[in-house]
Structure 1
Amino acid sequence: MQQPSQEEPALLDGPAVGVSDTRGLLLGYLDWYRKALMRKLAGLPDDVLRAPVDPMGWSPLGLVQHLGWVERRWLRWGFGAVDVVAHPPGGDAAEWTVAAGTPTAQVIADYQAEVAASNSLLATAGLSDKARLGGRFKTPDQAPTLSRILFHLLQEYARHVGHVDIARELIDGETGE
């Protein structure tokens, strides 16, 4: 029997192959995309992380900052109706642009804090639970279930992690999985 010369690549991305329940799949893929984002930025020097990628117009670090706001809007403010600032002062430009004096480590830490807050809300919530009223959603008819919000987050992450793949290839030729 021939032994492979290197570690076999995973047959599937995301959660383990034995995960088949809907909650495990949704949360497993969300976690996988969050980690994929960080993997795809690994090794880029600070000046490159902060520089807008032509022709996209945003920096890789700006995309991380944006996804932190996405987590906050959809889970803390949206699902949990937590009284938080949902959009940065300055709108989209401020959401995607990292201020010159903001350290890279702070942007990453802020993103990770939003992920931790999201995970805290998700720990005890059921997929059929509706978003609480008062944050993003004002009436029962507007309030989606957690499963709907998670589907939205997955498509948002899939799209943006794909954007990072393109940006990384433009920056240094690295390609992702």
Structure 2
Amino acid sequence: MTNEEFRVALEGPGQKVSDSAELLLGYLDWYREALLRKIDGLPDALLRAPLEPVGWSPLGLVQHLGWVERRWLRWGFAAEDVLPRVPGGTAVEWTVRDDTPTADVLAAYAHEVTLGRAVIAGADLASPSRVGGRFPTEEEAPPLGRILFHLLQEYARHVGQLDVVRELIDGTTGE
């Protein structure tokens, strides 16, 4: 390979961004968008079909990440009085019911992302989580930066898994 082939722009926020908050939020948004890019073009039947051996469908992953956004930002950081988990547990959280339209799952995910962004708008990375939701005491309440870093790693892991799942489904590979 030539040196030219190794000169690739970094993905995510701008090449010159160095502010920690801007990097963290920029990469989180990049992964949110990557999630949707990786399911783009899949017919509804393949979006909904659980793939073995992973046991979940691409749309099920989108649904799960909507709940993750809710749990960590609204219930966790903001201590909102929201249902943090889907009734029925983890298996239900990853399974899209046959009577639930794909558009509804995508809209619910987008809604949670929008609400999560609103919760953290203007907050500093050092801002502590409010007490009363996910965190019952001040000692247990992490700062926003810690929560965002957790979200980033969760997205990175799941979007990487989705990349493999998409390749197994139809051979499409991601960035």
Give 1:1-177 correspondences, 5 Å limit.
Answer: 11-177=9-175
1:124 is displaced (CA, Å) by 1.6
- What TM-score do you get using the length of structure 1 for normalisation? 0.94
State how far apart, in whole Å, the 1-side matches of 2:8 and 2:52 are: 32
State how far apart, in whole Å, the 1-side matches of 2:115 and 2:17 are: 24
Partner AA of 2:49 in structure 1: A
1:122 is displaced (CA, Å) by 1.4
State how far apart, in whole Å, the 1-side matches of 2:75 and 2:101 are: 26
Matched residue SS, 1:166:
helix
Partner AA of 1:50 in structure 2: R
1:54 is displaced (CA, Å) by 1.4
State how far apart, in whole Å, the 2-side matches of 1:173 and 1:54 are: 16
State how far apart, in whole Å, the 2-side matches of 1:11 and 1:90 are: 44
State how far apart, in whole Å, the 2-side matches of 1:123 and 1:135 are: 19
Counterpart of 1:3 in structure 2 is none
- What TM-score do you get using the length of structure 2 for normalisation? 0.95
State how far apart, in whole Å, the 1-side matches of 2:71 and 2:135 are: 11
State how far apart, in whole Å, the 1-side matches of 2:24 and 2:119 are: 15
1:11 is displaced (CA, Å) by 1.0
CA deviation string 1:133-174 (max 9, x = no partner)? 000000011000000001100100000000100100100011
State how far apart, in whole Å, the 2-side matches of 1:64 and 1:126 are: 28
1:10 is displaced (CA, Å) by 5.6
State how far apart, in whole Å, the 2-side matches of 1:46 and 1:75 are: 29
Number of aligned residue pairs: give it: 169
Residue identity (%): 64
Matched residue SS, 1:90:
coil
1:116 is displaced (CA, Å) by 0.1
